[in-house]
Structure 1
Amino acid sequence: MSVQDLHLHIDSVSKNFGGVQALTNVDLKIERGSFVCLLGPSGCGKTTLLRIIAGFENVDSGRLMLDDNDISMMPPHKRGFGMVFQSLALFPHMSVAQNIAYGLKLRGVSASAQRDRVDELLHVIELPNIADRPVSALSGGQRQRVAIARALAIQPPLFLLDEPLSALDAKLRDNMQIELRQLQQKFGVTTILVTHDQHEAMMLADELVVMKNGKVFQSAPPSTVYQRPADSFVADFLGAANIVSAVVSSKGQIELLDRNFDVAVDHPVGTNINVAMRAEHIKLTAEDQAKGNPIGTVEFIRDLGPSTELVIKVCDERLRVRSDNATMSELKLSQKVGVVIDSNALSIFRA
């Protein structure tokens, strides 16, 4: 990332609340115009980090650099960031137009310029005819779009979102994820979203930041995090990988599920390791076609429509397998199958 592309540098930020370490040396470089998702389990520190970026919490150590300017101690109203909260925080006594124009009015923008900006944004969010409607009369999806328009009205340098879609039903949430990404791309605003929804993060993010216990475990594009997780926590948290114990049996080989696999591994012979494998990277064959691959027993079958999910017991491990292969539907419970593992798709971590 060039100096010109670097927009926000979260530089070794730590935060403590009454003896509880909420953040520890968080260091992130956020590119201008990118969409960044902070992802992790409850209590991992992602909302605390977003509140520090917004200015609602102060850092204990470290600093925030926005375009080479230290904003660590700057109050929220001077940062000028756009925010959308989980509650949306729209003003129920105001019309849609008044809600969107609120930030512009506080900044002394003329009434005619406010009207022009509101009209522009209502067309962008594809709700051009609701300016005079009370927000209480809007659907959940419409309120969501109005909240986004209000946050973007002031043309903020950063757009911050704290789980804004979590209260929506599944279908509307999926549609709003697409709309949110399209709006972000139209405006080109650097966006940081807090979510615990893996699908949402994978769908929206240019950069995925996986957190746990106040620390960043991995920061990379979604495909990299999914295919090459930094450790077993990231692998298991994102996409529920199969995590299986193994051992380095010889140079370039590991012993996994009572079989030896050729795998590029740097650990010494005898090292205990954990191996992560995605459900879609495991294939099944008829037992008599196993050709030296492990043999497993079908313990669970679930038809998901476009794909089939199974649980296969191999040795003492239970592996989740997912495939769009139509022949999967022919498998039966307790049936013996060959288990073919793509050794090129394995992620290996020291146990």
Structure 2
Amino acid sequence: MYGKFGENNRPIIGADAMFLNITATPANAFPLKVGDSAYIVSNDFDTNLLAELENGGSRTDYTANMVFDIGLDFDFKDIVPGLKYDTYLMMRTFNTHSLITDNQPGLYTLENLQDIAGQDSLALKIYKNEVLDLDIGRTNQNNQRDFTYAGNISYIKQMTQSTLTLNLNHLLYYAPNRTATQPDNRNLTFNLNGSFALQNKYILFANLNSSSSSKFIGTNRTNFFPTMGFAWVASNEDFLKDNKSIDFLKFRTSFGQIGTEYTASTFLYLDTWAGGRNNGTTFLGTANIAQNKFGYSLSTTANEAVDWIVYNQMFAGFELNMFKNSISALTILIFKLKIKLQKLANYMQML
């Protein structure tokens, strides 16, 4: 369990506005302050940064974060040797809000006047009257809740010259949304992957992903994305096993489908309407004149065909570790290639 609570007090003027005033106002444009409370401006530069920092108002930011996490590991070796299940449940809360008081500090200009003796003298002239904000406003409110439940069922079978590994992992993510025009974020993912290693040299692996998202509807909500690959550990072959320079050499390649969601968070698969009172959407009589009545209009047209973005991806490369017995191990990653083969995917689909 983890918690963090914060309170930050600062002037209401932000860093951007502060540095803008610094860069936009010449240093010799006018005195900043006369006496204890007379802030000076000129007709050309009517902002006094010191007045904003001292009397422009204050802002207090409050944050409260809490994380609850619990995990359990199960080993079923007494029932099925090599069978395990690891799982965890997490809940995260995030709350933030700010209280502000936005004052307008009093500002003055310096005027050249003549006294009764005809001598030049400086006088203060009111440029802006001071206005105090007696109410405390609330802004920048945010409230978020996240729930996560995940786990992995693993099975490892050791045989004489081979090893079989199977994994079934799942992830449920749920984040309620306070905005009525946006759906709650719900994602459910299952991954079934396995590998078969023969003599610790030749490895065949495959993965089947099932992903569900609340951003889609009907049969489009869940989609499947397969991947297959092969690896060859050349350094375990007899002709490289006793090599003094090459410690590890592995070639690998894979091909599969990748699916991503749209970034939009609205109900793209539902019609949405906008309107209300006095919005000019209702027309009465034969004249094309909007009436100040209750009315609603279609703002977003539903598209039930909205689906996952799916593309094919191929990965190929090899890993090389050398000079393990030297003073410092030198690991060289020679080549890692990840490309999108859209043309190849279209060709394969045609086949």
Length-normalised TM-score, structure 1: 0.19
Structure having the higher helix fraction is 1
Greater relative contact order (CA < 8 Å, ≥ 6 in sequence): 1
Structure having the higher strand fraction is 2
Which structure has the greater CA radius of gyration? 2
Length-normalised TM-score, structure 2: 0.19
